[in-house]
Structure 1
Amino acid sequence: MFDLYKPSEDHDELRAAVRDVVDKEIAPHATEVDAEARYPQEAHDALVDTDFFAAHIPEEYDGVGADALAVAIIIEEVARGCMSSSLIPAVNKLGSLPIQLGGNEEIKQKYLPRLAAGEATISYGLSEPEAGSDTASMKTRATRDGDDWILNGTKAWITNAGVSEYYTVMAVTDPDGKRGSNITAFVVEKSDEGFSFGAKERKLGIKGSPTRELLFDNCRIPGDRVVGDIGGGLKLALQTLDHTRVTIAAQAVGVAQGALDYAIDYIKERQQFGKRIADFQGIQFMVADMGMKLEAARQLTYVAAAKSERNDSDLGYYGAAAKAFASDVAMEITTDAVQLLGGAGYVQDHPVERMMRDAKITQIYEGTNQVQRLVMGRKLLS
């Protein structure tokens, strides 16, 4: 077990190892990945080679069994260099965690070792065009046909869709059942007949991570692909998000750190009125606020990671708080980094404009920050 507020020596060594990989193999391609809106295959390969691809998979399924703080550090450090690339380990955890939390031994043995080995990625299918924050109103249906299930419907905003081999998908299995208790989780494979993808979304940021719809047209899957209990899918989905909101907070911390690092290097070199920009008190106050808020976000994220590892009863509150606070801070810091560079910050010759665009999504996905505040408010009032 690790301390709530201070990572262990092993965590510090992990950070150094990930940072080395990011600096050499991932960050150098980030500008090109963004400009071409292409999947960061270089990052994918580097993460597989170094066991940072799906480090959360337990050792009994051939994984490295990294704890929740270690996974947060991996995602943070990758996001520092390339936000699109950080979605590879983040979404692998998001897509596979329902299997870990609710799957039987057969389905765990079928999918988790392949993920741990880097032979496949896995995505998460919860949101729909008309069911974003209100997930219980989803329309995708799964109907029994003998031992099989037939899926029909659409999932929207699916990260790494088309790249991933596997998809954990939520579908209504009892249309007349109690709202929220009539949804079941399934694993869908890319090769399943009747399963296809929509066009890639044209996005503000994280352009290297493809976002597409999942389309199900009488998609037949075998009965052994059910994850957890029939009707227990939404509960499993929300339980998953309690844990994975920590990874979004880690992404936010990482991209904010990358922007702050770059801005500090710039203002220490750039001169105006005969001295470095960094020597002006107003600039120093601005940098001080950025650093202070970033460290507060990091510490809250690490506390939430510790609670995720222990599965504490108040994880829902801390996961929401870390995600909301860290993502708001990331948007503020990346915007201020652009400001510190002045006109240079507004052009693509410098990475801070990309970081600002990438940071925005952390305030939106896995539950908007308005939804996170609803979660926190209800917890505090209950």
Structure 2
Amino acid sequence: MATFPEDDALVGEYAVPDDVRPVVDRVIGFIEEEVLPYEERHGDHVGGPLDYLDGEGLLKPETRAMQAEIRQRSADEGLYALHLPEEVGGGGLSLREMFYVQEAVFRYGTGHGSGVARAMLAWTEGPSPALVHLDDAQREEWLDPLVAGEETACICITEPGAGSDVTAVSTTAERDGDGWVLNGDKRYITNGPFADTAQVLARVEDADGPAHERMAMFLVDTENPGYEVGQPNLNIMMDGITSDVHLRDCRVDGDHLVGEVGDGLPLALSWVNWRRSGRPGMCAGLGRYLLDRMLTYAKEREAFGEPIGTNQAVQWPIVETATELHAVRDMGTRMLAAYDAETSLSDLDQPATARRKLSMLKYYPEDRLFDWADRAIQVLGGYGLMHAGGVERVFRVARNIRIPAGATEIQKRTIAKTLGLE
């Protein structure tokens, strides 16, 4: 089968273990045989820098239709929800195994920002480990369509006044007979404009105890008249899928509560930890993409009669990136394997050592990816600043991901706390 073209000097450097190789080969095969030809056939909607966005900065209907097509094809092949347990329709892969899958997907870069290739793998819009806690009836209604790639979701945690401090959410949930009424404003909600279902974190008004014990997670059908999509949030990635969300007397039935009152914060963190656990593989994949771009350019571009790669000023950033990639891959796979042996993302009571691992695995690979992307632009020079160079969008993605799912500073604070420094 086809494999991603890699510089001869790197063949075998970043190997995939034999136990994971079959599923990684399936993922690569799907991308090269299904996704890339599909994107080429629909180049009118994703071929240019911003062809995938409409006048408001949101994804065009045509682009969203392309994502939906790839998502459902991937689900049909059993690839979309590899991260979930088999008992809920997922692939049952461990976090260590998912590292190699994430790496393979992002090995192809970020495309044009349309997210068509990335749509083959569940991301923010997909089924999260938090939904494993649904009962059988709830799973059939809310989880199964997500696993099948038929619907998408969003999670409404962040608010204008509540970011890193999740316990500061002001969205309220009031009991109303057998149901609940939600009111509040959410901000920076990925897939907020297009989701079929929303998972909303709210504070229960009549609950007792400190803030974290009064929080609950609710499932909301976005066709609910109380769910309103607000203004688009036009971010540095220009992803076209982020917006405010408003809940205005949004009434939901009693069975739309996930778990119990008091489970809201750990459920929200379960989702957040899912995103953190995927960062090492994502960063390693994008890092390898950047390294290939640097090597190719350094060998082909000439200045003063020689390839620029013969100059130490060009060699060193490439050498540093190649070395650090090994460190991130080794750190990611070893620490994820250790996390797998200790607990799982669906465990609502995370040990301090597990929290520390996820915080380290989020901030360190992200910081390295930012360095790699910055070096790639510098090595490519003026061409690196151009969209055609293929690295400027990775730089924007690298800068963006250091904040969502817990800013770098919050990760370091968590690490310090688990080391007994608070």
CA separation of 1:79 and 1:266: change in aligned 2, threshold 3 A = same
Q: Cα distance, 1:244 vs. partner? A: 2.9
In the alignment, what sits opposite 2:25? 16
Structure 2: unaligned runs, 5 residues or longer = 1-13, 54-58, 344-350
CA separation of 1:90 and 1:307: change in aligned 2, threshold 3 A = farther
* Rounded Cα–Cα distance in structure 2 between residues aligned with 1:155 and 1:307: 35
Please give the secondary structure, in 1, of the residue aligned with 2:158.
Answer: coil
Structure 2 letter corresponding to 1:36:
Y
Which of the two has greater helix per residue? 1
Structure 1: unaligned runs, 5 residues or longer = none
- Confirm whether residue 250 of structure 1 aligns to residue 250 of structure 2: no
In the alignment, what sits opposite 1:49? 73
Please give the secondary structure, in 2, of the residue aligned with 1:130.
Answer: coil
Please give the secondary structure, in 2, of the residue aligned with 1:349.
Answer: helix
* Rounded Cα–Cα distance in structure 1 between residues aligned with 2:418 and 2:263: 22
Contact 2:86 2:92 in 1 (8 A): yes
* TM value normalised by structure 1: 0.89
In the alignment, what sits opposite 2:214? 182
In the alignment, what sits opposite 1:99? 131
* Rounded Cα–Cα distance in structure 2 between residues aligned with 1:219 and 1:294: 47
Contact 1:77 1:254 in 2 (8 A): yes
In the alignment, what sits opposite 2:400? 361
Question: Hey, which bits of structure 1, 4+ residues long, moved more than 6 A?
Answer: none
Q: Cα distance, 1:41 vs. partner? A: 4.5
- Confirm whether residue 349 of structure 1 aligns to residue 388 of structure 2: yes
Cα deviation, 1:123-169, whole Å, max 9, x if unaligned, reads 21111111000110001011110111111101111112222211211
In the alignment, what sits opposite 2:89? 62
Contact 2:339 2:354 in 1 (8 A): yes
Q: Cα distance, 1:35 vs. partner? A: 4.8
Please give the secondary structure, in 1, of the residue aligned with 2:187.
Answer: strand
What is the aligned counterpart of 1:160 among 168, 178, 191? 191
**1:129-144 to 2 correspondences below 5 Å:** 129-144=160-175
* Rounded Cα–Cα distance in structure 1 between residues aligned with 2:270 and 2:98: 18
Structure 2 letter corresponding to 1:290:
T
Q: CA RMSD in A?
A: 2.5
Contact 2:234 2:240 in 1 (8 A): no
Structure 2 letter corresponding to 1:259:
L
Please give the secondary structure, in 2, of the residue aligned with 1:296.
Answer: helix
**1:1-382 to 2 correspondences below 5 Å:** 8-23=17-32, 25-26=35-36, 32=48, 34-37=50-53, 38=59, 39=63, 41-50=65-74, 51-83=78-110, 85=115, 86=118, 89-92=122-125, 96-100=128-132, 102-174=133-205, 177-205=209-237, 207-312=238-343, 313=351, 314-381=353-420
* TM value normalised by structure 2: 0.81
Contact 1:294 1:326 in 2 (8 A): no
Over the matched positions of the two proteins, sequence identity in percent amounts to 25
